[in-house]
């Protein structure tokens, strides 16, 4: 089972310069909770991911103004990234961060230029992918 066979193609993304408030509005409008953060919407080069929880915990709860807080500031770097042709049968995702037990399991799919071309939400529900939490 290749990543290209199960991914959501051309997912919604957040530009690095977007504010947390703007991304929260996108999440609400599209009923999504995690988006890849990219350099810009045209080139879509992958920089990280941001979740609704990241916005709440790292921006709002930290006392930052979501209307001025840029998502790149709080983008995660620990999201799994694979290519279109990555074999996912037997693929292991290891979660070692004891501090954050609420990490969302997602996989970002990129092409050879690190351009976001797909997204796999909730890989823990896909037979053949193993999530290891230590």
Q: For residues 133 and 69, which has the higher predicted lDDT (pLDDT)?
A: 69
Mean pLDDT along residues 56-72:
94
Q: Which two tokens stand for residue 2?
A: 């290749």
Q: Nearest CA to 17 among 39, 34, 49? A: 39
DSSP H or E stretch at residue 71: helix 71-74
DSSP H or E stretch at residue 37: strand 34-38
- Residue 132 pLDDT > 60: yes
pLDDT computed for residue 13 by the predictor: 97
Class of domain 3-133: alpha beta
Q: For residues 132 and 65, which has the higher predicted lDDT (pLDDT)?
A: 65
- Residue 103 pLDDT > 60: no
What letter would DSSP give residue 104?
P
* String of DSSP letters for 49-66: EEEHHHIIIIIITTT--T
pLDDT tens digits, 2-25:
999 999 999 999 999 999 999 999
Structure-token match 């999201």, residue found: 79
Predicted confidence band at 98 (pLDDT cuts at 50, 70, 90)?
low
């Amino acid at each position: 089972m290749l990543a290209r066979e199960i991914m959501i193609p051309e997912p919604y993304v957040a530009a690095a310069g977007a504010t947390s408030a703007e991304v929260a509005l996108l999440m609400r409008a599209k009923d999504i909770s995690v988006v890849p953060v990219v350099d810009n919407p045209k080139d879509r080069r992958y920089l990280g991911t941001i979740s609704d929880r990241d916005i709440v915990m790292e921006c709002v709860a930290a006392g930052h103004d979501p209307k001025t807080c840029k998502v790149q500031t709080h983008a995660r770097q620990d999201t799994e990234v694979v290519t279109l042709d990555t074999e996912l049968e037997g693929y292991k995702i290891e979660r070692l961060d004891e501090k954050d037990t609420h990490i969302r399991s997602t996989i970002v799919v990129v092409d050879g230029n690190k351009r976001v071309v797909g997204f796999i939400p909730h890989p823990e529900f896909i037979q053949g992918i193993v999530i290891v939490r230590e």
